[in-house]
């Protein structure tokens, strides 16, 4: 069951698109009108406070994507169309859940309307997960770490943070990095959290390139998302690098030592003790 108590909702009603849909021979040749209703969760308080489109689910972008998708589709069943619409909203727009109503008016003689209504998403939507994010910078690190903390607090509420560590750049010659780990709780989906982190990086003028190592105004890496294990082209959680680099594992173990790593079957504190990474030079610092 999808929990929506105390949840703000964005709705989209009567989005009409002409498409090929149906099982009859004539329906495979002639476009018919379908109408789509959607309900999707949002945090209206955050968007109202900033008055910025990045802080809410962009319903215009959702509508544009669905118009394109539905117009090019050739499904036989409205059930299939509804499932594909739900998948797009969940995966591409990071909604924790979605309600989809596909109308096919005129499909049944004597009836004004016929269709299907579904709801899909995380059955634990509304449950809050512990999330841990690595934060790093070697370009004006005092400024950019403060920006990161302010933005993460604004988007996710109360934060817990590790010590800030100064350590040499890894993989290239450059200025020292300031690194830390931040923890918070959220009921948002992993896609929504990742999108929010990307927006914070953008505020710091972060430009992503193909280079794995290099100078960074701000680097935000999603390390843990509750106890979830995700391995796909978009996400790898737990992040594999967290067991390889002291600048990730040490502050994470400091902040969440008793937490069990989802795949290593030991606590983060135990992982740090066994890692052999304690020889990596790191020194505690304070922000100016």
Q: Are residues 176 and 207 in the same domain?
A: yes
Confidence of residue 55 (pLDDT cuts 50, 70, 90): confident
Residue after which a domain boundary falls, among 121, 139, 155: 121
Q: Are residues 110 and 150 in the same domain?
A: no
In a domain, 2, yes or no: no
pTM across the whole model: 0.70
Confidence of residue 207 (pLDDT cuts 50, 70, 90): low
Q: Would you say residue 210 has pLDDT above 60?
A: no
Q: Would you say residue 212 has pLDDT above 60?
A: no
Confidence of residue 265 (pLDDT cuts 50, 70, 90): confident
The pLDDT of 272-288, averaged and rounded, is 87
Q: Are residues 150 and 116 in the same domain?
A: no
Contact 269, 259 (CB under 8 A): no
Q: Is the bond preceding 137 in cis, omega lying within 30 degrees of 0?
A: no
In a domain, 1, yes or no: no
Q: Are residues 106 and 151 in the same domain?
A: no
Contact 101, 37 (CB under 8 A): yes
The pLDDT of 201-212, averaged and rounded, is 69
Q: Which two tokens stand for residue 236?
A: 């790898």
Residue after which a domain boundary falls, among 86, 121, 156: 121
Q: Are residues 134 and 98 in the same domain?
A: no
Q: Are residues 100 and 210 in the same domain?
A: no
In a domain, 3, yes or no: no
Q: Would you say residue 110 has pLDDT above 60?
A: yes
Q: Which two tokens stand for residue 167?
A: 């350590």
The pLDDT of 45-49, averaged and rounded, is 83
In tens, the pLDDT along 229-261 reads: 998 888 899 999 899 999 999 999 999 999 999
Domain range holding 21?
A: 8-121
Q: Are residues 101 and 148 in the same domain?
A: no
- Looking at the 3D structure of the chain, how many domains does it have? 2
Q: Are residues 116 and 182 in the same domain?
A: no
For residue 201, how many C-alpha atoms fall within 13 Å in the half-sphere facing its CB?
20
pLDDT for res 209: 52
Which has the higher per-residue pLDDT, 26 or 171? 26
Q: Are residues 165 and 135 in the same domain?
A: yes
Residue after which a domain boundary falls, among 99, 121, 143: 121
In a domain, 161, yes or no: yes
The residues annotated as belonging to the active site are 104
Exposed/middle/buried for residue 4 (C-beta within 10 Å: 0-12, 13-18, 19+):
middle
pLDDT for res 160: 96
In tens, the pLDDT along 148-164 reads: 999 999 999 999 999 99
Q: Would you say residue 101 has pLDDT above 70?
A: yes
Q: Would you say residue 139 has pLDDT above 70?
A: yes
pLDDT for res 4: 47
Q: Are residues 163 and 214 in the same domain?
A: yes
Averaged confidence pLDDT in the chain: 89
Q: Are residues 92 and 140 in the same domain?
A: no
Q: Would you say residue 143 has pLDDT above 60?
A: yes
pLDDT for res 145: 96
pLDDT for res 214: 61
Separation CA 264–CA 191 (nearest Å): 24
Q: Would you say residue 271 has pLDDT above 90?
A: yes
**CATH number of the domain residue 230 falls in:** 3.30.70.560
**CATH number of the domain residue 65 falls in:** 3.30.1130.10
């Amino acid at each position: 069951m999808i929990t929506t108590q105390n949840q703000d909702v964005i709705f989209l009603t009567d989005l009409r698109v002409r498409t090929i849909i149906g099982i009859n021979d004539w329906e495979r040749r002639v476009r018919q009108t379908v109408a789509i209703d959607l309900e999707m969760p949002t945090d209206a308080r955050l968007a109202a406070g900033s008055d910025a489109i990045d802080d809410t689910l962009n319903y215009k972008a959702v509508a544009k994507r669905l118009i394109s998708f539905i117009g090019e589709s050739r499904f036989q069943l409205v059930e299939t169309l509804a499932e594909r619409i739900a998948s797009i909203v969940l995966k591409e727009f990071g909604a924790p859940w979605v309600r989809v109503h596909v109308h096919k008016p005129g499909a049944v003689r004597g009836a004004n309307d016929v269709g299907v209504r579904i709801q899909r998403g995380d059955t634990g939507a509304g449950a809050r997960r512990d999330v841990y994010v690595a934060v790093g910078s070697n370009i004006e690190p005092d400024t950019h770490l403060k920006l990161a903390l302010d933005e993460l607090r604004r988007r996710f509420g109360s934060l817990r943070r590790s010590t800030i560590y100064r350590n040499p750049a890894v993989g290239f010659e450059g200025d020292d990095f300031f690194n830390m780990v931040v923890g918070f709780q959220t009921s948002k989906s992993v896609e929504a959290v990742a999108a929010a982190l990307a927006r914070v990086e953008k505020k710091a003028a972060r430009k992503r390139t193909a280079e794995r190592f290099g100078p960074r105004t701000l680097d935000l890496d999603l390390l843990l998302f509750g106890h979830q294990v995700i391995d796909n082209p978009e996400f790898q959680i737990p992040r594999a690098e967290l067991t390889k680099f002291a600048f990730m594992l040490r502050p994470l173990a400091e902040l969440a030592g008793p937490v069990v790593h989802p795949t290593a079957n030991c606590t983060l504190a135990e992982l740090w003790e066994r890692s052999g990474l304690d020889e990596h030079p790191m020194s505690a610092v304070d922000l100016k």
